[in-house]
Structure 1
């Protein structure tokens, strides 16, 4: 079972091929006894894991006083771990015959896509996990973990020859990746450690102006072919095209562009692990 998981700072996105796709808010918060319980939606999550329990998703947003998301340029932290585990639990089927085994590919912002940070992510995820969400217990083992660079992974989805740029506009970071003849170009790639949910004000034209300034310093030019992905792809598209007219929104398999990383990660997993689903 191969999963592509993008544990974003705003939403967790999971793609599992025949298992389908899902997303939910990344918020985590403290547990408390609720005096009245509304009918829970799938994104209202009460979780129990390793002797701890808490709220996640829309329930954390509504009922946790100290809820929220840990934002930043790395996902090598406990919030990042829980986002991935919640995503796995939500998408895998219930199984009574023993532990389910999964192989995953997840992602990290380009600026922190280092061997040290990747190793932290791998070490915190690999192994067996016993997680209960809303009273449903699932035990699964993460057999293998690979960590790809956000945005760059999307450049390997539906390959094109020549030069391709990817702009992954997220809630806490903007990743710009360069792919030349299917080879990642680190010198012309970047991470802006600010996104649409972390800036004090969000004026699309000014955000696009800032992105253009950073990108031009990395030798991006006006007529470069650019894939726009992430949660900010749609609201930012017109402003980005004022600077890069050939920018287009990628909606893999008809999904929202925010799923682009997760889909690409799944495709990478299929290639690495040698499976077809």
Structure 2
């Protein structure tokens, strides 16, 4: 049995089992075809087959799918997220049985949405990737709140603010003495790949004003994570003087925090 964390993001899917970290493009193509020229396009070339559907994923979808897309939005309760998770389990784990922790934006981290995600994921799945069929049994799945959960990587107590800048959403999380604070946690349903322009100054201003209008202070301890963290760090410092990148790689912060939760839940 494996215990793993998977962040099925809109731009990249990230996998972590406590030892091995892997990420691959989240883009999917459902327009499979027999290729005449089968050249290797990248490290993560995937041809998948699941429930009578076939397609390309990862680097192969980037180059060979005519209708490739990465589904974005403020929820991961959809088949594309499931397919990303199953491809990750197929490629990077051994055995059949798995317990996992995945993520969901704060705005839709509701009981109903979490139950929908769990019902979609838990159970038996049969998937083939690059012609190799595997049976997967996911016995448990828990759903962590994106962004705010990454605050668990920050040592100590007090008030900790986290801005998780993703491709489709920006999550704002608050922890007070390592407890999640709902009042100070929310989601902006725009990200680095969904705004018309991802200009660091203008998008950073939009993010900062969203936080300030919800009670955050300019002197708060603000930690940045997600794919847009480094690009927007300087512009956000104009509004939050203590803004800094979260400890370790900001891109992997969510999946590393998910694994902390997995360890406590599943006894790793």
Q: TM tier, shorter chain?
A: over 0.9
Match of 1:247?
243
Task: Check if 1:273 corresponds to 2:263.
Answer: no
> Are 2:39 and 1:38 aligned?
yes
SS of the residue corresponding to residue 188 of structure 1 reads coil
**CA shift for structure 1 position 268:** 0.3
What is the CA–CA distance in structure 2 between the aligned matches of 1:88 and 1:263, rounded to whole Å?
16
Query: Which stretches in structure 1 are left out of the alignment for 5+ residues?
Result: none
Which of residues 117, 120, 128 is equivalent to 2:124?
128
Structure 2: 5+ residue stretches without partners? none
How many residue pairs match? The answer is 266
Q: Does 1:107 align with 2:100?
A: no
What CA deviation, in whole Å up to 9, does each residue of 1:145-177 have, x standing for no partner?
000110111112244200000000000100000
Tell me the TM-score normalized by structure 2: 0.96
Aligned residue number for residue 87 of structure 1? 88
Q: Name 1:147's counterpart in structure 2.
A: 143
What residue is the counterpart of 1:27 in the other structure?
Answer: 27
Report runs of 4+ in structure 1 exceeding 4 Å deviation: none
TM-score normalised by structure 1 residue count? 0.93
Which residue is equivalent to 2:255? 262
* Deviation digits for residues 226-262 of structure 1 (CA, Å, limit 9, x no counterpart): 111000011111111121121111243xxx3111100
Q: Partner of 1:186: helix, strand, or coil?
A: coil
Summarize the Cα distance change of 1:158–1:210 in structure 2 as closer, same or farther, 3 Å threshold.
closer
> Would the aligned equivalents of 1:48 and 1:131 in 2 still touch at CA under 8 Å?
yes
Paired residue for 2:66?
65
SS in 2 for 1:240: helix
**1:132-211 mapped onto 2 (5 Å cutoff):** 132-211=128-207
Change (3 A) 1:158 1:138: farther
